[in-house]
Amino acid sequence: MSATAESPYRGRVDRKDIGSWLSGPRIDTGLDGSDVSAGYPGERLGLPEQGRGSAATWGRRVGALFIDWFVVLGVSLAFVGAPEPGNDTFGIVTLGVLVVMYVILLMTAGATIGMWLLGIMVWPVGSDRFSFVRIVGRSVLLALVIPAVVYDRDRRGLHDKVGGTVVVRTR
């Protein structure tokens, strides 16, 4: 552009000019331009919108995890005693007990103690049974916490996606 040519902006930057990149990408469209905001959690998986078999709410899931955590803390206290300052044994045993409890109870009953008390359970997606390897992977990722808080609109955390599972309501 030459020095004498008129710019349509005349040295001014309008909010509209930077608004598209400042606000980030639209989250209601997929990569192919399809609308991903429509629907309810679990619709893409064929789950009902409400009631039995629908995607479990975060309140129930977090509540179940807290109940399970207290059970695991009790078991850990029985195994290694009270935690001592500077000794990580209690924490490591606690995470190990959590993973073992989740693997055993999900493979046998489809729900942990906390899940059972709050009326939710884990269902396999796209299959009629669980894979041992996937349930172990799901349980280890849950113990790492971060994968559990990265989730999609179907309320499936990264640990659920790795495990090929979804948490649903049973009542």
Coil/strand/helix, residue 151: strand
Burial readout 137-166 (b: 16 or more C-beta within 10 A, e: otherwise): bbbbbbbeeebbeebeebbbbbbbbbbbbb
Structural tokens at position 55: 């995607």
Q: Which residue has the tokens 């020095």?
A: 3
pLDDT of residue 35: 56
The pTM score is 0.73
Q: Would you kindly state where each structural domain of the chain is located, as residue ranges? A: 43-169
pLDDT of residue 108: 94
pLDDT of residue 109: 94
pLDDT of residue 63: 95
Structural tokens at position 67: 């109940």
First to last CA, the chain: 68
Please give the angle made by the CA atoms of 144, 148 and 152, to the nearest 5 degrees.
Answer: 150
Burial readout 60-85 (b: 16 or more C-beta within 10 A, e: otherwise): bbebbbebbeebbeebbeeebeebee
CB 109 within 8 Å of CB 116: yes
pLDDT of residue 20: 47
Q: Average pLDDT for consecutive 10-residue bins of the chain (171 residues)? A: 50 50 50 61 90 93 94 93 86 93 95 96 87 91 83 87 91 91
pLDDT of residue 6: 53
pLDDT of residue 17: 47
